Amino acid sequence: MKYAVLLTEKPDGGIRVSVPALPECAVEANTRDEAIRLAREAIAGVVSRSEIVHIDVPQPPRDTAADGGVPWEWFGAATGDPTWDALFDDIERRRDVTRKGR
């Protein structure tokens, strides 16, 4: 099985590896290769003691939408707005200026 790992350079040297799918699984090492090797070993250790179980929970989650509808009902509401294209053209121009300034 493949796991995504996050390799982060530490300010004082070395690399810290965390595994988003297994929050308690993290290692530190001096080199990238060693960090990956240790992460692989740590993941194997965690999964060898773990089990994935699917459970049914009859209670539905709370409705967080203010009006009781889906929170993304507004999506697409601006499609008829005549200023929409001008807004995004301005955003693109500003982004291009920022990129050229680097």
Angle at 23 between CA 50 and CA 20, to 5 degrees: 105
End-to-end CA distance of the chain: 41
Dihedral sign from CA coordinates of 74, 80, 83, 89? positive
- What are the boundaries of each domain within the chain? 6-48
Cα–Cα distance measured from residue 14 to residue 96, given in angstroms and rounded to the nearest whole number: 36
Could you tell me what percentage of the chain is helix, strand and coil, using 3-state DSSP and rounding each to the nearest 5? 35, 10, 55
Q: What value does the CA radius of gyration of the chain take, rounded to a whole number of Å?
A: 23
Per-residue pLDDT of the chain (102 residues; tens, 9 = 90+): 899 999 999 999 999 999 999 989 999 999 999 999 999 999 999 999 999 899 999 988 876 655 566 667 777 777 788 888 888 888 898 888 887 765
Which amino acid is present at 37? R
Full-prediction pTM beyond 0.85? no
